[in-house]
């Protein structure tokens, strides 16, 4: 296999092919001669191969009969479900772009989100592109599509025409000039700049408002069909002095264009959202629910690529792992896992907080590490030739395992290679099992022994594959011996037969060049391996797992979170919360004990103060329903006090922080965040930092609501987020 020093380099050709396909599959091409053409139809749906899409998405038919979607219709949600197609209006540049897309870029993430939304409702997403930005909303109103996905800023004028979803992203309008531009200007005095702007855009509103105060500005009306690339070319050629761009779009072009720069922010951060027709409230409701859930699950920490010295400066070690029974999981509402406990101990000894990131699949783990979202991968990986080509460093081994054949107990054991003839293995292609089997396949062909190797989705854990084998859906699979040890606690019909490898060492991975972290991890492994702490947790998970896990309760552990799930779901639906988030909050507050009582007198499942309960009209907090309803009503009240133009996820984190510390302290923290140059509309890395400062006299003496122990709301939100992520993986929402 060719060398790979970058995940993106690995996939760049793949993305390029996709972009070409997007252009080729349009029913009507948009040539230079047709640059003023109206809406263009696109038959190729973005399924699991869309830029940024994950393999959790189930592919649908890419060939949709033209009559199914091209006709004008003002269908509501039920009619959309009946036809089985969601028509998505997008700007031409969203689909026809010669730039390598990145998941961090807003429009790529929007396409990924809307594609998954459609497919989660068994709808085929059909993209309808329009050259002219001004025709996006009219096309929606005329019934040429069902939704506009286009980085649309929410403005008062647009709100009169369409309904907007919860924000999917935010951006600041920026003035963009050529890199050689060196005039001294300010927002208050732009001078006689020639600024190019398209009419009927939020940019036009912004610049005309500025011109009303600064009459020497020259507004150059740009053609409605001009691309962002062409706008920037007009600037660099000197035809105009400046254009306006959203900050999140500009990032994309600055990845490869060094001839432009942003010099001034033209206003505050603005929410960007999707638009639906006024006659489709049910679609709006479905989209808002989906956006809120997805935004909560998409949270990644700020990217940083530093070594251990940088990690210590930020006082946080970020672990990238998977959700399975040998690495990181929840059992009886406790976070557990062999890898998790080892890394948690390492973080403790280094005086670091531990942040856990659970990847969707194995490729994503490497992407997150390379992009700087995490510092270490701990997921039971061995060093293979393919993985050694990534931009990573491997630690010394901390656990030795064999790869063994897993089969059902009621069939003849496989004792030699000849017993493999005619059998079929099911494994992930990214796993070391795939490489073991493909090498063995070539080796045995000369002896006339043939078997099949079939791939399973990359998101499937080995324990899930084993379950499919034991149910008879799959024939055979491979698994590491330590995973088998755990699974035998659950399954009496599991048989581990022939070992296909000798013992091989599992290792942790860090970014290439992070020598300080690598050396410290190796020292930790050398010190702990086979020591008391190591042996205790090794025995806990792999030797005595029958004592740790109650096999009879595994199904209930996977199917429910608590005995109060139905009650939590009911109230979550009534007050428009994600029930899994509320369950995580109840776990944090009371560990599902309705009789719990805090030192301060808070009571019930959500630990509500009796005075607060009376204010929301609830008594007798010891009753599960009362204790829960009081807390949820109070959460809903807090949520109503916050701007609905906040990002959907931020609104939730702010609500939780205010629930824990009080709405007044949240207001103080947001004001302080702005004073410190942080973003008052973001929680992680911004307002949470301000909360920590409010426990210091220098800051709380000047705050309206005074002192607050800032570590409590910060820890509170982090704990609930971690629980929520695990609950969400085990308990997906119904469409």
Residues involved in catalysis: 589
Does residue 195 sit in helix, strand or coil?
Answer: strand
∠ at Cα 486 (483, 487), nearest 5°? 85
Alpha-carbon distance 709 to 732, whole Å? 35
Alpha-carbon distance 609 to 613, whole Å? 6
Beta-carbon contacts of residue 196 (< 8 Å; ≥ 6 apart)? 220, 221, 222, 231, 234, 235, 240, 242, 243
Residue of 551, 423, 430, 442 lying closest to 498 (CA atoms) = 423
Q: What are phi and psi of 322, to 5 degrees?
A: -120, 160
Per residue, what are the HEC states of 146-163? CEEEEEEECCHHHHHHCE
DSSP letter at 34 equals: G
In order, the DSSP letters of 206-244 are: HHHHHHTT-TT-EEEEPPTT--HHHHHHHHHTTSSSEEE
CA atoms within 13 A on the CB side of 602: 16
Alpha-carbon distance 532 to 47, whole Å? 50
Alpha-carbon distance 537 to 137, whole Å? 59
Does residue 395 sit in helix, strand or coil?
Answer: coil
Does residue 400 sit in helix, strand or coil?
Answer: strand
Residue of 370, 355, 185, 342 lying closest to 262 (CA atoms) = 185
Distances (CA, A) of 119 to 23, 179, 310, 483: 22, 43, 41, 33
Residues forming beta bridges with residue 318, ordered by sequence position: 355
Alpha-carbon distance 185 to 190, whole Å? 5
On the 0-12 / 13-18 / 19+ scale of CB atoms within 10 A, 159 is exposed
Alpha-carbon distance 256 to 249, whole Å? 13
Q: Are 401 and 332 in contact (CB under 8 A)?
A: no
């Amino acid at each position: 296999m060719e060398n790979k020093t970058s995940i993106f380099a690995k996939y760049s050709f793949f993305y390029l092919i996709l972009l070409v396909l997007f252009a080729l599959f349009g029913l009507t091409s948009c040539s230079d001669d047709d640059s003023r053409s109206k809406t263009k139809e696109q038959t190729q749906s973005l399924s699991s191969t869309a830029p940024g899409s994950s393999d959790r998405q189930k592919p649908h038919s890419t060939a949709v009969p033209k009559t199914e979607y091209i006709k004008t219709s003002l269908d509501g949600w039920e009619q959309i479900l009946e036809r089985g197609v969601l028509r998505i209006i997008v700007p031409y540049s969203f689909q026809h772009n010669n730039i390598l897309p990145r998941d961090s870029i807003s429009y790529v993430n929007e396409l990924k989100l809307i594609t998954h939304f459609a497919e989660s409702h068994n709808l085929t997403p059909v993209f309808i592109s329009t050259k002219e930005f001004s025709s996006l909303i009219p096309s929606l109103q005329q019934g040429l599509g069902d939704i506009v996905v286009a980085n649309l800023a929410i403005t008062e004028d647009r709100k009169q025409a369409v309904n907007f979803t919860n924000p999917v992203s935010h951006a600041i309008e920026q003035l963009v000039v050529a890199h050689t531009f060196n005039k001294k200007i300010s927002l208050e005095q732009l001078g006689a700049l020639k600024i190019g702007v398209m009419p009927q855009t939020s940019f036009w509103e912004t610049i005309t408002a500025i011109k009303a105060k600064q009459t020497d500005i020259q507004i150059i009306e740009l053609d409605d069909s001009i691309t962002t690339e062409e706008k920037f070319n007009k600037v660099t050629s000197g035809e105009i002095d400046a254009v306006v761009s959203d900050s999140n779009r500009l990032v994309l072009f600055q990845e490869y264009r060094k001839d432009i720069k942003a010099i001034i922010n033209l206003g505050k951060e603005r929410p960007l959202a999707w638009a639906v027709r006024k006659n489709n409230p049910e679609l709006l409701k479905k989209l808002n629910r989906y956006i809120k859930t997805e935004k909560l699950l998409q949270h990644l920490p700020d990217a940083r690529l530093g070594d251990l010295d940088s990690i210590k400066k930020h006082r946080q070690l970020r672990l990238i792992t998977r959700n399975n029974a040998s690495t990181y999981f929840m059992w009886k509402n406790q976070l557990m896992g062999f890898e998790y406990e080892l890394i948690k101990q390492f973080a403790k000894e280094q005086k670091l907080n531990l942040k856990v990131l659970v990847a969707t699949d194995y490729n994503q783990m490497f992407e997150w590490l390379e992009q700087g979202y995490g510092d270490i991968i701990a997921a039971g990986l061995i060093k293979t030739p393919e993985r050694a080509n990534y931009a990573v460093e491997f630690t010394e081994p901390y656990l030795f395992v064999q790869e063994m054949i897993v089969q059902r107990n009621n069939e003849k054991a496989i004792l030699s290679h000849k017993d493999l003839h005619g059998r079929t293995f099911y494994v992930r292609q990214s796993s070391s099992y795939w490489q073991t089997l493909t090498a063995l396949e070539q080796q045995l062909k000369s002896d006339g022994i043939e078997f099949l190797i079939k791939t399973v989705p990359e998101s499937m854990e080995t324990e899930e594959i084993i379950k499919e084998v034991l149910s008879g859906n799959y024939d055979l699979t491979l698994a590491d011996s330590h995973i088998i040890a755990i699974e035998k606690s659950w399954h009496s019909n599991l048989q581990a037969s022939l070992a296909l490898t000798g013992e091989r060492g599992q290792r942790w991975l860090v970014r290439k060049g992070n020598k300080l972290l690598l050396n410290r991890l190796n020292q930790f492994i050398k010190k702990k391996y086979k020591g008391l702490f190591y042996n205790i947790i090794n025995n806990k998970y792999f030797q005595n797992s029958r004592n740790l896990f109650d096999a009879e309760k595994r199904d209930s552990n996977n199917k429910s979170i608590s005995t109060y799930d139905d009650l939590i779901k009911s109230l979550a639906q009534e007050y428009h919360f994600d029930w899994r988030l509320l369950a995580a909050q109840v776990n944090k507050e009371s560990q599902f004990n309705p009789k719990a009582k805090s030192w301060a007198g808070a009571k019930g499942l959500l630990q509500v103060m009796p005075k607060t309960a009376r204010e929301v009209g609830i008594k007798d907090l010891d009753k599960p329903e009362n204790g829960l309803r009081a807390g949820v009503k109070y959460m809903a009240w807090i949520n109503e006090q916050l701007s609905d133009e906040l990002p959907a996820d931020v609104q939730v984190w702010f609500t939780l922080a205010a629930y824990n510390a009080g709405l007044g302290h949240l207001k103080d923290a947001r004001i302080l965040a702005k004073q410190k140059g942080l973003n008052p509309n973001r929680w992680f890395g911004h307002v949470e930092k301000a909360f920590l400062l409010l426990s210091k006299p220098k800051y709380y003496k000047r705050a309206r609501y005074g002192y607050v122990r800032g570590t409590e709301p910060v820890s509170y939100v982090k704990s609930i987020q971690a629980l929520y992520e695990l609950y969400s993986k085990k308990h997906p929402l119904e469409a």
